[in-house]
Amino acid sequence: MRRVYDGFAAPLIGAALAMMVGLIAQPAEAQGGRDDSLISGEPRGAGESMSCRDAATSQRRLQIAGGQDARVEDFPFMVQVRVGGGLCGGSMIAPGFIMTAAHCVMPPPGARACRPDGPGKCALADPASIQVVRPGPDGRATGETAGATRVFAHPGFRYPTGPRDLGALDADVALIRLDRVFEERGGDYVSVSDAAFDQSFTKGEECARVAGWGLTHVRDSRLRIVTEGPKTDKLQALNLALQSKERCATRYPGEISDNMLCAGDGVEGFNTCQGDSGGPLVMDVGGPVQVGVVSWAYGCAQAEHFTIFARVGARAVREWIDGVMSGRGG
């Protein structure tokens, strides 16, 4: 099995690290009618939760992998993050600040872009190589564009230094300070989970939503080799069930830290895929609240596996975010 991420192209690093391999797939079967209840709905009050299965229909394939076209108004905070030749998602959390994954802005050791900065670490990408783009009304990344003036990655993040390095990939969160503030449209900024809210969904099985421009189809992963389809140029969305840390640990023994969050149904073909890294995992509780950042998985939307998200409400992560935003961290 392998851990996978998609910020930069890179070779294998030991036996534990590999990038997603984008083999061309036959298109997944045509999707049925849209069920908008799986994407959005009335904001839920504090303490309320919704299971993804409460709203499920036989047409669960909402193309993130197995998703469907997103309504841009459901994700007004969504952005596309371009780092050199890499593609990731991101979210607007405050005027002039974007949150994404640390691995999106830090090339893995062994990559041509890596400037070593300690075990399992490389220097962060040059801000001049970063471009952040908002989606246009049709979901394509053709909207306002901004550059970056500063990049921050959580100091706890690093890549595996060997096949038994299970402490790696922790706190996979980065912040990008933009060189301009985007035009305000209303609902532009997503709330970030804090430690108190983070504790309210620890049992799992509540419903969250994720969006991205990554690969859209997965056909066969029986041999842990995933056949993937092309990226889409339209923003895609999918509902995912949150999983408890205990259940997640049965799939990834010894690899799930307190700064990680698990989501997905374990159904082949439905989850995040290459190009979705850094995107927000959002719950609707009186409004959108970001609880995770797309981080890593074994393969792409494989059966019996979940996607791992950086847990932004974990105390060590949220305190770092607050420090950077206030000018005390980084």
Would residue 172 show up in a list of annotated catalytic residues for this protein? yes
* Residue given tokens 């961290």 in the structure block: 329
Would residue 217 show up in a list of annotated catalytic residues for this protein? no
User: Which among 74, 172, 198, 276 is annotated as catalytic?
Assistant: 172
Give the whole-angstrom CA distance, residue 192 versus residue 135.
21
- 117 vs 106, 123, 124, 132, 271, CA distance in Å? 10, 6, 9, 25, 32
- 310 vs 110, 111, 207, 214, 316, CA distance in Å? 24, 23, 17, 18, 11
Cα 56–59–65 angle (5° rounding)? Answer: 100
CB atoms within 10 A of CB 88: 30
Do 286 and 326 form a contact (C-beta atoms < 8 A)? no
Would residue 305 show up in a list of annotated catalytic residues for this protein? no
Q: In this structure, are strands 145-153 and 174-178 parallel, antiparallel, or unpaired?
A: antiparallel
Do 213 and 143 form a contact (C-beta atoms < 8 A)? no
User: Which among 277, 284, 295, 305 is annotated as catalytic?
Assistant: 277
Do 148 and 96 form a contact (C-beta atoms < 8 A)? no
User: Which among 6, 74, 91, 103 is annotated as catalytic?
Assistant: 103
Give the whole-angstrom CA distance, residue 129 versus residue 270.
32
- The residues annotated as belonging to the active site are 103, 172, 277
